[in-house]
Structure 1
Amino acid sequence: MKRVVVTGLGALTAIGNNVPEYLAGLRAGKSGAKPITLFDATQFKTQFACEVSDWDPTDRLDKREIRRLDRYITMALYAADEAMRMAGIYNDAGEKIFELDPDRSGAIVGSGIGGLGSLETEITDFTNGSGVPRYNPFMIPKMIANMGAGHISIAHNLRGPSYATVSACASGGHALAAAADDIRLGRADFMVSGGSEAVVTKVGVGGFNSMKALSTRNDDIKTASRPYDADRDGFVLGEGAGILILESLEHARARGANILAEVVGYAASSDAYHISAPHPEGAGAKMAMGNALKYAGLEPADVDYINTHGTSTPIGDTAELKAIQLAFGEAAYDLNISSTKSMTGHLLGAAAAIESVACILAIQHNFIPPTINHFTDDPAIDPKLNLTFNKAQDRRVDVALSNTFGFGGHNSATVFKRFVD
């Protein structure tokens, strides 16, 4: 089995439009929540989200091409470009400086929903128009959830494994696992992987509102995402993309790449319980974490940091912490736990990817990103757990675990480790 290492990162979030900005936002405990600007939300129960802002995709992408893409595809391409530059495939000017073997390189990028904005626009234009079916010829390629991976593979001539994983909020985690397996089993040497999502739309907000999944704290937007707080009332919708470059250790060494971390374990499970609610005792989440550690050859005491799913929902947060205590036992009290969704919002299919980037940054820079917006302790949560409230904490991080769980009971857990040659 080949070792899998990370050599590049790309990030596009509400708290930073690239990896350095994202790192700064995580360190500072920055809230990305703001009033929605992408559409008029005044009639909606929730009028805010974690939008990507002050972002000009033409910095890296062709203006004419962008018009043919959904926002989630543009975000995936943008983050992939940053990751490829960090990995040394391109220089800072975007000029290719290393030729990959296209047949041994691929792209697996998840999205929970895909091009919802494009679909919404086309249907609205049709129903408000003459009734004549004059759809945009790019509607289907803009809408379908595989086209983030498809456009990345076309842009960078990656002819190896290329597809999307679609498993709600676990999509990005499953994409990383699939890409890592292709390398570990010798089917590829170099993979672009992660997730992208852009559903801050009328349908997206309205649909989640109807499920009572979103916070409606319109009078206190910046603190609306408050995982583990007694007064949490739902998640804040986020958007963006996270991309990781994965390589076999041999391939990375041969080209002199800078190795950022190693992917040492991952696992998937299902709650087999409910379409949207987690198992109340965290049974599936416990299994995913336990199997990921077993796959990695690690003990619970080896883990320094868990970046939790932690969406700020009343049931989900406590179920995940129960699962952590079941999986880690007494070791749960020695590690740091935090939810970066308190800052970025919930990126759905991109959540695992952007949170995996946070895990690797924690390893590189020896700090724990905080869970911001904590005001009131929840009596249902064990006070001995270190949930890293409100302020980043300095700590050496050798092993970090990323959890993501999705509607349908889909669970994903990924373990990253400081690289040791």
Structure 2
Amino acid sequence: MRRVVVTGIGVVSPLGSDIQSFWGGLMDSQSGIDTLSKLDADKYPRPLAAEVKDWDQLPQSKDQSLNTYGQAVGYSVAAGSMALSDAGLNIDPNRPNNYGVLIGTTMGNQDLVERAIDRHDLQEDQDPAIVSKTDIQNFSPAKLSAETAKRLAMYGGSATLVNACAAGNYSVGVGFDRIRSGRNDVILAGGADPFSRTCYTIFHRLNASTKGPCRPFDEHRDGMVVGEGAAFLVLEELQHAKARNAKIYAEVTGYALTCDAYHATAPHPEGNGAVRAMEQALKMADIETADIDYISAHGTGTRANDESEAIALHRVFGDTLREVPVSSIKSLIGHCMGAASGFEAVACVLALKEQALPPTANTETLDPAFPYPLDIIPNHAREAKVDHVLSNAFAFGGNVASIVMSRYE
């Protein structure tokens, strides 16, 4: 069986667009959440956002050819370039390779449509044709992975997975399968999403946005914070990585994809899909619940999600759940849609490498309605012995993806 390892990571995040800023911010409980600036904050009653603040400091921001695409394409190219550089992969664009690109997203290039609307201010008496052919061509979510693959000279196939908030984990899981089956030696896998007026407004209309700090699993939690960015892992077949003497962060050992098919936006109240995904991922990794040293929760801070996830965790781990640290980095970087589980996968890789766990910020009183107390690593990072981690991602439509990563030996 071909083994799959992680040899590179890259992020464009609300905490900063480099690994040091991202991980250091998590470890220091720094918040990437602030007052909304990319839209008119006066039009929203709960104007908090987790925005990328340093895009103009990245070399890709100077590339005018990226301006015809949605912002997520730029984020993907930037974070993907960082990940490949971190992996020490110097790809010759003039030579064939079987390196692939898989990108998960929620909104895709929706911001491109919003730009066109703002630019043309369409009215009923205007010609719709003034929306350019380029706008229409570049709107497709497929452009995320195709353009990233082209610019990074990765010729082994590309795909965009539109699985909402679980899409980053979907990409890692599918990439794991493609390498293990022998189709690819390297996959750039993760997620990317732009800041979108459509997305921001949708969550406000759903009354899912918080009025104050994002406080996952807290008794008084009242919602999430919409974010943006991109996060990628370089997945690589073990012998391919060893042949070029690559550093190895961690090993992907199992994953599972399930679907509740329960409701368009609400999770199953008993967490049925989450239970199946966690159990199947653990089985594929050939480990027991007792082997898990950390759980990266989906942990949005909404009432329905956190309760469903807590119930599902207890159903899988039973009374031993109190001994397993669980945290949600969304309390610090917001909910970055398709990029969310990409960021969480990067955090899990770093937890394995650094033998430390990121905290859950802002949570003061654990919801007493949960079936069992959770060790949420409140407010402060923690050193720990970390051999196996479980990362959960849940999405609208009941899409669920769980990944197991392990310390490489």
Normalised to the residue count of structure 2, the TM-score between the two structures is 0.95
Paired residues for 1:266-281 under 5 Å: 266-281=255-270
Deviation at 1:161, TM superposition (A): 2.4
8 Å CA contact retained: 1:110, 1:146 = no
Paired residues for 1:91-170 under 5 Å: 102-128=96-122, 131-132=126-127, 133-170=129-166
Greater mean alpha carbon deviation, residues 62-71 or residues 177-186? 62-71
Residue in 2 that maps onto 1:350: 339
Give the residue type in structure 2 aligned to 1:208.
F
8 Å CA contact retained: 2:55, 2:61 = no
Deviation at 1:155, TM superposition (A): 1.0
Residue in 1 that maps onto 2:200: 205
State how far apart, in whole Å, the 2-side matches of 1:331 and 1:181 are: 31
Greater mean alpha carbon deviation, residues 161-170 or residues 141-150? 141-150
Give the residue type in structure 2 aligned to 1:203.
T
Which of 240, 246, 254 does residue 243 from structure 2 map onto?
254
8 Å CA contact retained: 1:266, 1:412 = yes
What RMSD, in angstroms, separates the aligned Cα atoms of the two structures?
A: 1.7
Deviation at 1:36, TM superposition (A): 1.3
Return the structure number with greater helix share.
Answer: 2
Give the residue type in structure 2 aligned to 1:207.
I
Q: Secondary structure at the match of 1:412?
A: strand
Give the residue type in structure 2 aligned to 1:274.
H
Residue in 2 that maps onto 1:93: none
State how far apart, in whole Å, the 1-side matches of 2:215 and 2:143 are: 33
Q: Secondary structure at the match of 2:130?
A: coil
8 Å CA contact retained: 2:16, 2:54 = no
8 Å CA contact retained: 2:314, 2:372 = no
8 Å CA contact retained: 2:101, 2:159 = yes
CA deviation string 1:305-363 (max 9, x = no partner): 00000000011101101111111123322211000000010011111111000001111
Give the residue type in structure 2 aligned to 1:407.
F
Deviation at 1:60, TM superposition (A): 4.2
Give the residue type in structure 2 aligned to 1:212.
N
CA deviation string 1:182-207 (max 9, x = no partner): 10000110111100011x33322212
Give the residue type in structure 2 aligned to 1:251.
H
State how far apart, in whole Å, the 1-side matches of 2:366 and 2:184 are: 47
8 Å CA contact retained: 1:227, 1:317 = yes
Give the residue type in structure 1 aligned to 2:396.
F
Residue in 2 that maps onto 1:399: 388
Deviation at 1:272, TM superposition (A): 2.1
State how far apart, in whole Å, the 2-side matches of 1:206 and 1:60 are: 28
Give the residue type in structure 2 aligned to 1:76.
S
Give the residue type in structure 2 aligned to 1:49.
A
8 Å CA contact retained: 1:110, 1:145 = no
Which of 390, 398, 401 does residue 409 from structure 1 map onto?
398
The 1:168/1:153 distance shift into structure 2, 3 A limit, reads same
The 1:383/1:29 distance shift into structure 2, 3 A limit, reads farther
CA deviation string 1:17-38 (max 9, x = no partner): 1111101011011111111111
Q: Which runs of 5+ in 1 are unaligned?
A: 91-95
Residue in 2 that maps onto 1:14: 14
The 1:123/1:399 distance shift into structure 2, 3 A limit, reads same
Residue in 2 that maps onto 1:189: 185
Which of 384, 390, 393 does residue 373 from structure 2 map onto?
384
State how far apart, in whole Å, the 2-side matches of 1:175 and 1:101 are: 25
The 1:371/1:294 distance shift into structure 2, 3 A limit, reads same
The 1:100/1:372 distance shift into structure 2, 3 A limit, reads farther
Q: Secondary structure at the match of 2:190?
A: strand
Residue in 1 that maps onto 2:64: 64
Residue in 1 that maps onto 2:43: 43
8 Å CA contact retained: 2:11, 2:19 = yes
Q: Which runs of 5+ in 2 are unaligned?
A: none
Residue in 2 that maps onto 1:418: 407
Which aligned runs of 4 or more in structure 1 are off by greater than 6 angstroms?
Answer: 98-101
Deviation at 1:56, TM superposition (A): 1.9
- Is 1:297 matched with 2:286? yes
Q: Secondary structure at the match of 1:388?
A: coil
The 1:123/1:55 distance shift into structure 2, 3 A limit, reads closer
